[in-house]
Amino acid sequence: MLDKSIEFHSIIMKNPNYKEPEAVAVPEGFSVRFYQEGDEKSWALIQNSVLEFNSVQDALDCFNHYLEHEDELRRRQLYVIEEKTGKAVATATAWYSNLKGKPIGVVHALSCLPEYQSLGLGKVAAFYMMKCFYELMPGIEVWLDTQTWSYKALGLYLNLGFIPMKKAVYNDVPNEFGAAIKVLKGKMREDKYRLFIERAK
């Protein structure tokens, strides 16, 4: 869940996507599948629950962008499902764009319902997302934009091989690395904060 009590600054990260990600076990009682018709409702509920949108309807309206590319959606958007209820509890999307005329992968909406966040399901969604990038776009860089409000997720991105970018930008998202690291100090775990600084390029 976003921590909106701290100062907001955007963060840009990049993954070279040159090797298959290390496998992550799916916890017992859960499974992973791609988008199916009707999943937009679950997606909207998950995104609203982590405060990415002001309402479920706002999230549904945003989802219309994906529905314009439904064939890609069915092979790029993943859901972690609680088997006993059939409920989607986490999601991630291995989307795509271009940068200076070249294709890139773009991380979209890696999120998990707050009440399921202690079970490692975000890590599962992230692994399958990166596996999807590797299979569909091997060797093509994967970019993401996040923010200081999502500082708890930065350790996960570092574990996935993402590199914090000091100046690089994509998709018109501002790079506020310098301001962000001042906010992150004391909020991130100390070892992860050091790694974040050391890995930055």
> What pLDDT sits at residue 1?
62
User: Exposed (0-12), middle (13-18) or buried (19+): which is 19, by Cβ within 10 Å?
Assistant: exposed
196, 188 in Cβ contact below 8 A? yes
Report residue 86 as tokens.
Answer: 């059939």
> What pLDDT sits at residue 185?
92
> What pLDDT sits at residue 81?
98
> What pLDDT sits at residue 111?
94
> What pLDDT sits at residue 134?
96
For the four alpha carbons of 111, 112, 118 and 121, in that order, the dihedral sign comes to negative
pLDDT in tens, 172-187: 889 999 999 999 998 9
pLDDT lower than 50: segments of the chain:
none
